[in-house]
Amino acid sequence: MKEKRKYDKKDKKRKPRVVRVRAPVLTPDIKIDYKNIELLHKVMAPNGRILSQRFTGATCKQQRELTQAIKRAKYLSLVPVGSSRKRF
């Protein structure tokens, strides 16, 4: 005969998952442009990566425009290209 474990997997209750949601950075009336450096810094991570739509609150079209604007700003050296940490 099998003995029942003290705590069966099915008996455990799942802890509620904590999801941190940032306030949406973008609203429909904001114009996305490569010269708007303050906006571009808000939608970029400190290491220079572009944040996803989930964090920025952008629509698909806005996210594509953001990507183009950030790439242009990086090309013109208006925003940093990569991490500010030194690598050895």
Please report whether residue 16 resides in a domain.
no
pTM over 0.85: no
CATH at 49: 4.10.640.10
Tell me the per-residue pLDDT of 31-47, one tens digit each, with 9 for 90 and over.
999 999 999 999 998 88
Helix (H, G, I), strand (E, B) or coil at 12: coil
Count the domains in the chain.
Answer: 1
Tell me the per-residue pLDDT of 4-18, one tens digit each, with 9 for 90 and over.
556 556 656 667 777
Which residues, at least 6 apart from 67, have a Cβ–Cβ distance to it below 8 Å? Answer: 50
Please report whether residue 73 resides in a domain.
yes
**Domain range holding 62?**
25-81
Q: Which candidate, 28, 42, 29, places its Cα nearest to that of 73?
A: 42
Terminal CA-to-CA distance of the chain, rounded, Å? 61
Please report whether residue 4 resides in a domain.
no
Please report whether residue 5 resides in a domain.
no
